[in-house]
Amino acid sequence: MIENFDAFNFALTNQDMDKIMKLDQGQSLFFSHYDPETVEFITGLIR
């Protein structure tokens, strides 16, 4: 368990954050959140 808590023992630099922000392409790689059929399917799974 102690080793698991070490996963939180780090800090991101501003340079790291800039690189991460550049990864965002503004769209999902899996499905379109704007497609009504997809939204219906996803919300139907919760029932």
Q: What percent of the chain has pLDDT over 90?
A: 21
Band (18; pLDDT cuts 50, 70, 90): very high
Residues 15 and 21 sit within 8 Å (Cβ to Cβ): no
Pick the residue with more confidence: 35 or 15?
15
Section 16-25 average pLDDT: 90
Record the tokens describing residue 6, joined without a space: 């070490």
**Which helix H or strand E contains 36, and what residues bound it?**
helix 36-44
pLDDT digits (tens, 9 = 90+) for 25-41: 877 778 887 888 888 88
